[in-house]
Amino acid sequence: MRISKSLGIPLAATFFVVLLVPTPGLAGTGPTTKNCPTEPTQNVPIVSGETYYGTNCVLSTTGDADEFVFSASAGSTFRMLAGLGASPATNVCLTLYAPGVPATTVFSGCSSINYPNYANSVGTTQTLTKAGQYTIKVSEASNAVITYGVTLERLNPTPPEAIPLILSKNVSSQITPITAQDSYSFGGNTAGEYQITASVTSGATSNICFDIFQPDGTIVVSASCTSINYPNYRNSTTADLTPAVSGTYIVLVYVAGNDGVQGYNLEVTCLLGNCNPANCVLKDTVTYASGTLTMDFTIGTPYAVTWNAWLVSGNLMQSLWSQPQAITEPQITVTKTQALGASGRVGVLSTFTTPKKGITCSSWQQVNTGTP
């Protein structure tokens, strides 16, 4: 057996150092707002959670168009919006182009400021099939000077700016500017039922809505909205959710119509059952016979991780593997083997890790391989 050089600390210390290092929680950065660059500028980068709105976000002729670009992986889900500023004289249009030349249109649409729709914004939610750089074009329907806002939000994978929600803890915030959307995350467990409630703050001029997306980006609650005007006069809105799968759920909060600014409160509570976030599972049974170390694992994880394993003998450690492990629900069994001469008592340390959570699950098993 070939083992890497000594780490200089005893086996027990190695084990506890690895398992007891504090691990960071999810830390969302929240949304950001930028003014558009001065003209002429095209292919302006935009990322999830970002809204462009300001004095430079102006269109003046039908030939005037502003373009924004973002990178996406295949299978990811994004929502994008374009909305009109005050006193619009014409409609704003949004077109999404897939990567490559010639241009392939994924979506094209315009707002509708006149009867019967009265929609001051236009948007789309798309699961993108091709990896690469996508282009959002913002234009106008006819010659006029209009101001606009444009927003991008990733729904799958979990957006980095999503703010974690703590059960039964109220969050107060404000949607601003127009078209902006606030994303939140919480760990959903199939063993529990959750209640999500949003309400407008006092003096409300716009309604607040929220959508909920399960881990794969599929929408499970659509347009749960307040109703501050006749005939309903409902200043809060509630949705109950029993997760179909365990994992990270996204709550997306926005102003109805995406054309206003409004303060709100948001809270997620446990209605029934076990609402604690689903945990990962990493169990190992180690046996040794005839020069072969056999590791029978039971693994399960509600989120993607990196699976690491080391062979430990005395003060020496050898890396066995470090590989990506996709969401694994339900649990599965995996058998790994390693050729190994008699080496006395050895151990197998294995972990699941993520960049933001650190170690999420771990296993430590020992076996006697016989006298060398």
Distance CA(155)–CA(140), nearest Å, equals: 27
Provide CATH code, domain 11-24+279-368.
2.60.40.3880
Torsion, Cα 97 101 102 108, to 10 degrees, reads: 0
Distance CA(171)–CA(214), nearest Å, equals: 21
- Which residue in 275, 267, 271, 272 sits closest to 236, CA to CA? 267
Distance CA(44)–CA(66), nearest Å, equals: 8
CB under 8 Å to 56, separation ≥6 — which residues? 35, 36, 37, 38, 39
Domain 162-275 bears CATH identifier 2.60.120.380: yes
CB atoms under 10 Å from CB of 3, counted, come to: 17
pLDDT tens string 71-113: 999 999 999 999 999 999 999 999 999 999 999 999 999 999 9
Each domain of the chain, given as residue ranges in start order, spans 11-24+279-368, 31-154, 162-275
Residue type, 39: E
| Inter-residue contact 293 to 340 (CB < 8 Å) | yes
- Which residue in 172, 174, 253 sits closest to 209, CA to CA? 253
In this prediction, residues 270-290 reach a mean pLDDT of: 88
Distance CA(189)–CA(191), nearest Å, equals: 5
In this prediction, residues 169-179 reach a mean pLDDT of: 97
Asked whether this chain's domains 31-154 and 162-275 adopt the same fold, the reply is yes
Residue 14 pLDDT more than 70?
no
| Inter-residue contact 274 to 309 (CB < 8 Å) | no
Quick one: which H or E segment has residue 248?
strand 247-255
Distance CA(260)–CA(274), nearest Å, equals: 37
Residue 15 pLDDT more than 60?
no
Provide CATH code, domain 31-154.
2.60.120.380
Distance CA(159)–CA(30), nearest Å, equals: 10
Distance CA(119)–CA(83), nearest Å, equals: 9
Distance CA(28)–CA(30), nearest Å, equals: 6
Our measurement of the distance from residue 263's CA atom to the centroid of its chain's CA atoms, rounded to an integer in Å, reads 23
Task: For the chain, give the mean pLDDT.
Answer: 89
Q: How confident is the model at residue 300 (pLDDT cuts 50, 70, 90)?
A: confident
pLDDT tens string 315-326: 889 999 999 998
Residue 277 pLDDT more than 80?
no
Q: CA torsion sign, 324 to 329 to 331 to 334? A: negative
Is the model more confident about 182 or about 281? 182
Distance CA(179)–CA(257), nearest Å, equals: 8
Distance CA(319)–CA(3), nearest Å, equals: 9
Q: CA torsion sign, 271 to 276 to 278 to 281? A: negative
Residue 61 pLDDT more than 50?
yes
Residue type, 177: P
Quick one: which H or E segment has residue 117?
none
pLDDT tens string 349-368: 999 999 888 898 999 999 99
Distance CA(229)–CA(282), nearest Å, equals: 52
